[in-house]
């Protein structure tokens, strides 16, 4: 409610002096500064965001755009954690987060926050349509992609160390004696899935295990049930299955139960992501943990850095990953 002019009046100084006192400028005497600051405190002064932004051309907002997936299962648990990480970092630096969800197909109309320049930077999380990204470049704001669908290598991005994670997972299975390892994934139309496949293949090769095409099934969306069911009905079924995300691993659980088998006695399962659900399943799922909040805060820190006086550009940063051993992996049967 109290404005800068109320303070000026109370302190018997000019508007400029008040502004300088509050913004810590040098051009002001020490005693008057303290006096003004005290009065501001008493009046519970907070700068009006509009006036400030208008003059400074800074909103102190950063936009976050999330692709509201047609497939809510895999989208939600992952992205809401990333969002938390972003918010936390932004809040720490006194920035606001303005959120937008992209629904359906992009029709060439940028979100309001971008059109009206309500944000100083923007973070895109999840798979985005490429012509949206193209349009977005025209607004020319500091931008950061989090786990993008394709590698927009001219843009800044934070990605997951997918290959290493998958390698870890497969190696762990191999260490347990498994050699017949299934690969259960949604369509390989996302770089994360592709890289996880690559890690799978490399781990096999590294252990001189031949890749059996029958064991890799990467089709459709969230068809983990159908896919592992199909694998289990193979003449020579795998003894372990690696799923490129936890959702599909958990969907796979139902298939192995439907076949009357049990985890990990008959078949071992490993996932990827480490969503909350992974701890609740029976048995709790061994999976590779992705530090989602960290991805978010890295992205936020980066955008904030771009906004600072001397930004250091770093095009793509990869966040590490960790294998979390729970109870869904056991030694291969009859070993």
Partner DNA sequence: ACTAATATCGAAAACGATTTCGTAGAAAAT
Partner DNA sequence: ATTTTCTACGAAATCGTTTTCGATATTAGT
By CB under 7 A, the residues from 34 to 53 that bind DNA are 45, 47-48, 50-52
**What gap in Å lies between CA 72 and CA 74, rounded to an integer?**
6
**What gap in Å lies between CA 287 and CA 243, rounded to an integer?**
9
Q: How many residues does the chain have?
A: 335
Is 28 one of the binding residues for DNA (CB under 7 A)?
yes
CB of 2 to DNA, least distance (A): 8
By CB under 7 A, name the one of 22, 37, 209, 324 that touches DNA.
Answer: 22
Task: Convert residues 292-331 into a mask of x (bound to a second copy by CB under 8 A) and - (unbound).
Answer: ----------------------------------------
Task: Decide which of DNA, a second copy, none touches 205; Cβ closer than 5 to 8 Å per partner kind.
Answer: none
CB of 91 to DNA, least distance (A): 20
Nearer to a second copy, 255 or 298 (CB): 255
Query: Which of 27-55 are b and which e, b meaning 16 or more Cβ less than 10 Å from the residue's Cβ?
Result: ebeeebbebbbebbeeeebeeeeeeebee
> Could you give the angle at the alpha carbon of 158 between the alpha carbons of 152 and 162, nearest 5°?
95
**What gap in Å lies between CA 97 and CA 122, rounded to an integer?**
9
- Segment near DNA (CB under 7 A), from 31-39, 129-137, 221-229, 293-301? 31-39
Is 15 one of the binding residues for a second copy (CB under 8 A)?
no
Is 3 one of the binding residues for a second copy (CB under 8 A)?
no
Task: Decide which of a second copy, DNA, none touches 27; Cβ closer than 5 to 8 Å per partner kind.
Answer: DNA
By CB under 7 A, the residues from 254 to 313 that bind DNA are none
**What gap in Å lies between CA 300 and CA 122, rounded to an integer?**
9
Closest CA to 256 of 267, 248, 246, 247: 267
Is 29 one of the binding residues for DNA (CB under 7 A)?
yes
**What gap in Å lies between CA 249 and CA 282, rounded to an integer?**
12
CB of 56 to DNA, least distance (A): 5
Tell me how many residues contact a second copy (CB under 8 A): 49
Contacts of 194 (CB under 8 A, 6+ apart): 188
Contacts of 72 (CB under 8 A, 6+ apart): none
Closest CA to 299 of 146, 148, 155: 146
By CB under 8 A, name the one of 14, 25, 42, 51 that touches a second copy.
Answer: 51
Bridge-partner residues for 319, per DSSP? 160
Strands lying side by side in the sheet with 268-273: 216-218, 181-185, 240-243, 268-273, 286-290, 321-324
By CB under 7 A, the residues from 66 to 105 that bind DNA are none
- Segment near a second copy (CB under 8 A), from 26-34, 58-66, 163-171, 296-304? 58-66
Task: Convert residues 93-132 into a mask of x (bound to a second copy by CB under 8 A) and - (unbound).
Answer: -x-xxxxxx-x-------xxx-xxxx--------------
Is 78 one of the binding residues for a second copy (CB under 8 A)?
no
**Residue whose tokens read 């295990």:** 209
Is 322 one of the binding residues for DNA (CB under 7 A)?
no
Q: What distances in angstroms separate CA 255 from CA 54, 169, 229, 261, 328, one per listed residue?
A: 59, 21, 5, 9, 14
Is 4 one of the binding residues for DNA (CB under 7 A)?
yes
Which chain residues interact with a second copy by CB under 8 A? 46-51, 53-54, 59-61, 64, 68, 72-73, 76-77, 80-81, 83-84, 87-88, 91, 94, 96-101, 103, 111-113, 115-118, 247, 250-251, 253-254, 257, 276-277, 280, 282
């Amino acid at each position: 409610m109290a404005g800068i002019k109320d303070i000026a009046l109370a302190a018997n100084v000019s508007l400029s002096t008040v502004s300088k006192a509050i913004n810590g400028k040098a051009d002001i005497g020490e005693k008057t500064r303290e006096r003004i600051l005290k009065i501001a405190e008493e009046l519970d002064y907070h700068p009006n965001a509009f006036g400030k932004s208008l003059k400074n051309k800074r909103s102190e907002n950063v936009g976050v755009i999330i692709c509201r997936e047609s497939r809510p299962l895999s989208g939600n648990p992952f992205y809401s954690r990333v969002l938390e990480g972003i918010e936390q970092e932004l809040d720490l630096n006194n920035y606001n987060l303005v959120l937008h969800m992209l629904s359906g197909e992009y029709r060439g109309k940028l979100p309001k926050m971008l059109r009206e320049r309500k944000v100083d930077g923007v973070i895109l999380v999840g798979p985005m349509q490429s012509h949206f990204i193209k349009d977005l470049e025209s607004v020319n704001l500091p931008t950061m992609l989090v786990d993008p669908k394709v590698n927009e290598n001219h843009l800044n991005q934070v990605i997951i160390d997918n290959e290493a994670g998958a390698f870890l997972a497969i190696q762990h299975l191999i260490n347990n004696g498994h050699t017949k390892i299934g690969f259960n994934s949604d369509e390989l139309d996302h770089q994360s899935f592709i890289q996880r496949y690559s890690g799978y293949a490399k781990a096999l090769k590294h252990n001189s295990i031949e890749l059996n095409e029958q064991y890799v099934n990467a089709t459709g969306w969230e068809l983990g049930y159908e896919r592992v069911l199909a694998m289990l009905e193979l003449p020579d079924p795998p003894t372990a299955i690696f799923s490129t995300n936890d959702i599909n691993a958990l969907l796979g659980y139902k298939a192995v139960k439907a076949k009357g088998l049990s985890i990990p006695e008959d078949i071992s399962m490993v996932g990827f992501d480490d969503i909350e659900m992974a701890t609740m399943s029976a048995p709790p799922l061994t999976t590779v943990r992705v530090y989602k909040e960290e991805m978010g805060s890295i992205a936020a820190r980066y955008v904030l850095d771009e906004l600072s006086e001397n930004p250091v550009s770093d095009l793509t940063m990869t966040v590490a990953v960790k294998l979390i051993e729970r109870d869904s992996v056991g030694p291969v049967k009859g070993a």
